[in-house]
Amino acid sequence: MIPAAFEYVRADSVDAALAALAEHGDEAKLLAGGHSLLPLMKLRLAAPSVLVDVGRLDDLRYINDAGDHIAIGALTRHRDLEISGLLASAAPLLAHAASHVGDPQVRHRGTIGGSLAHADPASDLPAVVLAMGGTLVATGPGGTREIAASEFFTGFLESALAPDELLTEIRIPKLETQGWSFQKFNRRAQDWAIVGVATVLANGSTGVALVNMGSPPCWPRPSSMPFAPAPTPPMQQPSPLKEPRPRATSTPRPTTASIWPASSSAVPSRNPDCPRRTRGRRGPSLSGCCRSCR
């Protein structure tokens, strides 16, 4: 559980972080909250030679109303999402799902940008952003570009981010929500979801995405895209009445009373002169006869 040796670089700005990524290339990894990357490093499943710490970039920590969408800085912590009044009114699904991430320690350190960039299908927030039709903004040497959530997650722990790019912002469209739900099944509250689903009904359309049901976070098939028109439920046809299946009857097991009548005169005996036949107080019985009488 000890990671391989690495070099630590602390970035004090976005430009400094991009310069470090450009210098070290594929050998560098960005470190924000660390709750996704560090466990992999301890298991030696990831072994970057350079860690670029961007956790202190406060200019990437915000939740703003941007007109037709909500702009969220990539370094906004899960706890900030959970208690945001703006998200509670405009995107309650995201605020609710953030309250179910890990435990309080994880929510106070983990960031939404780190969770999305890690692209773990068992994580909660990638499915929520996918179901809500969010957009992710990446910044690199060539400037910024927008990536739809449906195109961002490309595989298991893989995203559309280039090695020299940094996720800087998440944009959640404002929706007139008629209903939403986030459900997940796990063994303990702080565990990764064994299976989960995020769904939202807004503007007459539906968005559904699944947690831990595929290599990348995905929406269920045959649904084509998030916010597809809500299907009209088919008419329920009355099922024809069926005759009830006959219950299996069992033959009652014979009892002693049904085999041997209570009357002593009816007790059969092959040896009427048996001396043991008359020993019982209640008259002759089969159990009182000798072996030759049975």
Q: What are 91-115's pLDDT values in tens digits?
A: 999 999 999 998 898 999 999 999 9
Give the per-residue pLDDT at 26: 87
Mean pLDDT within 68-84: 97
- Amino acid identity of residue 179, one-letter, is G
Window from 2-16, 24-38, 186-200, 209-223 with minimum mean pLDDT:
209-223
How are beta strands 135-140 and 166-173 bridged, if at all? Answer: antiparallel
Give the per-residue pLDDT at 148: 96
Give the per-residue pLDDT at 17: 96
- Amino acid identity of residue 197, one-letter, is V
DSSP characters over 37-78: HHHHHHTTS---SEEEE-TT-GGG--EEE-SSEEEEETT-BH
pLDDT exceeds cutoff 50 at 240: no
Hey, what are 108's tokens?
């106070």
Hey, what are 177's tokens?
């929500």
Residue with tokens 């350190």: 109
Instruction: Grade residue 218 by pLDDT with cuts at 50, 70 and 90.
Output: confident
Burial class (CB in 10 A: 0-12, 13-18, 19+), 109: middle
pTM of this structure: 0.74
DSSP characters over 213-280: SSSS-B--TT--STTEEPPPPPP-PPPPP-PPPPPPP-PPPPPHHHHS-S-GGG---S-TT-GGGG-S
Hey, what are 292's tokens?
């030759």
CATH domain 58-229 topology? 3.30.465
Instruction: Grade residue 131 by pLDDT with cuts at 50, 70 and 90.
Output: very high
